[in-house]
Chains A and B, each alone.
Chain A
């Protein structure tokens, strides 16, 4: 089962530290020294603010990913506990973007690349769970209110187990109220 990062709207204050943390983790610390327009600032999670809530939304690393299913060039695949996009293969056809019900995929330019008409290549961009990056998902690490948590298979399973035991207990109490 894949892992995923999820935000808690009760803790999130909409400050977007996670969005910068994501870019820094993927682009590397040299971005604090180079021309800010020489790389693509492409956070892989997106802050959502409505009257009711503020929380970032990102890829849920589904088990039967709709994006993987529609990709015409097989650019999307499972790697470790995450679903990742090979941006070299991707040609920006947006099928995955249309297929994803969470809006977790957007299209971003690849800095320094160029198409035949001179414009930059534009490819799909989504959370890759910081796969290959030490100390795990940067957004979880930098969030000042711990609103983002990494949910692993083990944690999800144990949570389900706990809920089932609780359900069993309440069922038992219904039948034998005095005991």
Chain B
């Protein structure tokens, strides 16, 4: 099995600890997590850093990973139906355009994400809300 070492930043609190992962590339799974010598954590980790990665293999304890785009075609209370990305993207684009034309750009609210998505995704989200939709209605849970 091809083991590789990958260093990354912990997805949990703001301390920004560096973790060294041993990954089995063939089996596409994580083997081990040990502290790396990061600026803030200096070779130590807390319990979330050490043991907070096995959600990736989707144990479905509390909830389960989303795997495919889904739409409630029959309206609010109807079940979610799996659809292709093309259908989901065009559906969202059409609905947002329709609401934008009907009620104006400020009738649409978007959020950023303070969690795993990363800075680049947040930049694009606020650019999408501002440049494409045309509103400053973008916020995230720094406020709550």
Do chains A and B make direct contact within the complex (CB under 8 angstroms)? Answer: yes
**Would you call B139 an interface residue if the criterion is a C-beta within 8 Å of the partner chain's C-beta atoms?**
no
Closest B-chain residue to A31, C-beta based? Answer: B54
Query: Which segment of A13-21, A50-58, A66-74 sits at the interface?
Result: A13-21
What number of B residues sit within 8 Å (CB to CB) of A? 15
Q: Which of B39-56 contact A (CB under 8 A)?
A: 44-47, 50-51, 53-54
Q: A29-B31, A144-B44 are in contact. Are A21 and B50 (CB under 8 A)?
A: yes
**Would you call A24 an interface residue if the criterion is a C-beta within 8 Å of the partner chain's C-beta atoms?**
yes
A15 in contact with B47 (CB, 8 Å): yes
A17 in contact with B54 (CB, 8 Å): no
**Would you call A100 an interface residue if the criterion is a C-beta within 8 Å of the partner chain's C-beta atoms?**
no
User: A110 — which chain B residues lie within 8 A by C-beta?
Assistant: none
Seen from chain A, the residues whose Cβ lies within 8 Å of a Cβ on chain B are: 15-17, 20-21, 24, 29, 32-33, 35-36, 142, 144-145
**Which A-B residue pairs are the 3 nearest by beta carbons?**
A32-B54, A17-B47, A144-B44
A17 in contact with B50 (CB, 8 Å): yes
A33 in contact with B31 (CB, 8 Å): no
User: A33 — which chain B residues lie within 8 A by C-beta?
Assistant: 29, 54, 57
Q: Which of A15, A29, A35, A145 contacts B32 (CB 8 A)?
A: A29
B9 to chain A, nearest CB (A): 16
Closest B-chain residue to A144, C-beta based? Answer: B44
A146 to chain B, nearest CB (A): 8
Chain B CB count within 10 A is highest, among A16, A17, A36, for A17
**Would you call B75 an interface residue if the criterion is a C-beta within 8 Å of the partner chain's C-beta atoms?**
no
User: B46 — which chain A residues lie within 8 A by C-beta?
Assistant: 15, 17, 144
B6 to chain A, nearest CB (A): 17
Q: Which of B5-60 contact A (CB under 8 A)?
A: 29-32, 44-47, 50-51, 53-54, 57, 59
**Would you call B61 an interface residue if the criterion is a C-beta within 8 Å of the partner chain's C-beta atoms?**
yes
A142 in contact with B45 (CB, 8 Å): yes
How long is the Cα–Cα vector from A144 to B50 in the complex, in angstroms?
10
Closest A-chain residue to B30, C-beta based? Answer: A32
User: B53 — which chain A residues lie within 8 A by C-beta?
Assistant: 32
Closest B-chain residue to A21, C-beta based? Answer: B50
B54 in contact with A24 (CB, 8 Å): no
A20 in contact with B54 (CB, 8 Å): no
Closest B-chain residue to A36, C-beta based? Answer: B61
How long is the Cα–Cα vector from A20 to B44 in the complex, in angstroms?
15
B47 in contact with A16 (CB, 8 Å): yes
